[in-house]
Every structure is written in C-alpha cells, then in structure tokens.
A = this chain, B = another copy of it.
C-alpha cells in the first residue's frame, strides 16, 4: 500500500519524506521534485526566509540507476536555518498557531517544542511526496493542477483559459485571471503595511482521471473522504469543498447534478457540479476541489496573548514570517491530491 510519512523539524538540519509501497522500476527524477519545491517557495508575499530556502534535495534511498527498487524512498530536504538546539524558549503562544494547544498536550511551557513540526516548513516534505506521486501518475497521463482563486478579499474570475499552465506560471499569485493579479498585489502590500496577513482559496483540478478510483463499499475508502483528510491536514487549511461545493447546499436537485449523455462512444456530461466524484469514486470527469486557508498566524503587528509563565498579557511571538502563503498552498494541495490519487490506483 502506498504511504508516506514526513519527519524533521523546522529549524533542524533537514526535513524528510519517506514513501513506502512504490512499484519497482519507476523513473524518479530529482529535478521534478526540485521544481515542485521551487514553486512552493515562490509566489508574491513570501518573506525573505523563502529566499534562502534553496531546498537542496537528496534522494537518500530506494533508487538505483534512476529507477525505484521497490524499496522505501527517503527524500532529504536540507534546512538552511539549523538552529534547533540553540533557540531560546518561547513562552508567548501565537493565536491561530499550534503553540498553546501543543503546550497543553505535551505539558511544556516552551512553544518552541511544538512549532517545529506544526510550522509550514513541514509542507515541503509533502510537496516532495506529491512530486514522486506525480511522476507515477504521469505514466498514466494524469496531471493535477493547482492554482489560486482568492487572496483575502480579492477573488479571481473563473473561466476557461487557453494555456492554463503558462498563465499560472507567469502569475505572481499562481492565478488564472491576469486581471486579478494587480488587485491581489495591492491587497498583499496593504496587509504588509499594516503588519497583517492574508489567507485565500485554492483550486486543485485534473486533466483526466480514470473512473472508479475510490470505493462506495467502505467508508474509509470513499474518495472525497480521503482527499478531504489529505487537504485538511495541511497547515492553516480550514475547509474543503468538491465540485460546486457549499453552493450545492442551496441549489435544488434539478440543477445540482450532472445529467448523463452518450456521444462518440462514451458517456458524456455537459456539467461537472460533482467535481468528478460520485458515490465516493471518480466518475471519469475532471476532478475539481477547493480549499480555504486562514491567514498566517504570525503577524508583524502581534496579536494579544498570555505569557504562559507569568500569566500576564503579552504580544504573541513573531518569528520572521510571510504575509501570504496562498500560492504555496496551491502547490501543497496539488501534491497531496496527487498522492491520494496515486494511492487509490496502487
């Protein structure tokens, strides 16, 4: 069974992804992983921290001559800020972050022991896992495609575009609506000015998916459930929706489903409100899901908190951070969806 685990602390020497259950003989290309990691680092609104995260990667195990041996694949992604053992303790938990919940869970007054795994650095390891899965999916002509549709109050206009990958990759916000880019940029600049942060919404969709991935037979194999876990386990994600999503709750059945036709030897649908999933399975239509990200919890103009040692009011800790990481989320979400689709195929 295909499975991945991540390891490593945000300020340790490196983070890692371990993939188990890959087939033998698959070409795995380190450059593809590096490209995905570079996309994750990019996007307008990142701090200077992202600049020096060059994400030097090493595929430490599982390959010989560039192809998988059928053994576990370990990927190492170096951290540049290796200061885990020298960081002073942090007593002022940030609202919106794992800090306080983790301090209670692990009975420690140092938020530094919590944030190492909870911080977004861990998502680089997930992008690496997804990049390997994408190479497997590529053998079957399956491509996942993530992009941004909202930054704070600025929504992109939906609509088909001619060469989506080209447009997305040219956009500082990984967005398919060139007209939104400028407004998004202003929103981020203004938030930065205020010492504030912004969230947003991303989409992951597929070119093509074979029907029947997932299962209606057991609750834990239903595909929307698997994808929802993958997406909502990403740091700062607070919601996921498939196809027309929350709007379906307000739409009558006569306008909410995708009628079935038949043309050119295949079943065909004029709409895709289901987002390519019916009954916990892919139905042969393109996948379409959205995920929403709350704004980052580390603000330059700090939120109010309590010093856990003195119990006195305090400013929340504010390590160097970004204003907006929604473009990165589009890459991470694409990765975890790729992994789940590959898992469903194995």
A114 contacts the other chain (Cβ, under 8 Å)?
yes
Report whether A253 and B299 are in contact in the complex, using a CB–CB cutoff of 8 Å: yes
- Given A105-B211, A279-B98, A305-B259, CB of A113 within 8 Å of CB of B230: no
Number of chain copies forming the complex: 4
A40 at the binding interface (Cβ < 8 Å): no
- Check A267–B61 contact: CB distance below 8 A: no
Contacts of A163 in B (CB 8 A): none
Are A199's CB and B261's CB within 8 A?
no
Known contacts A25-B106, A229-B228, A259-B303; A217 and B284 CB within 8 A of each other: no
Residue contact A228 to B249, C-beta cutoff 8 Å: no
Q: What residue in chain B is nearest A105 (Cβ atoms)?
A: B212
- Whole-angstrom distance between the Cβ of A74 and the nearest chain B Cβ: 5
Interface bracket on A = 35 or more
Q: Which parts of A47-81 form the interface with B (CB within 8 Å)?
A: 60-62, 64-65, 69-74
State which of A31-39, A133-141, A164-172, A232-240 sits at the interface with chain B. A232-240
| Least CB distance, A8 to chain B, in whole angstroms | 4
The 4 closest A-B CB pairs, nearest first, are A98-B279, A105-B212, A225-B233, A239-B241
Q: List residues of chain A with CB under 8 Å of any chain B CB.
A: 1, 5-9, 12-16, 18, 20-21, 24-25, 60-62, 64-65, 69-74, 84-85, 93-102, 104-108, 112-114, 116-118, 122, 126, 150, 152-153, 191, 194, 196-201, 211-212, 215-220, 222, 224-233, 235, 237-246, 248-254, 256-262, 267, 269, 273-275, 277-284, 292-297, 299, 301, 303-306, 311-313, 316
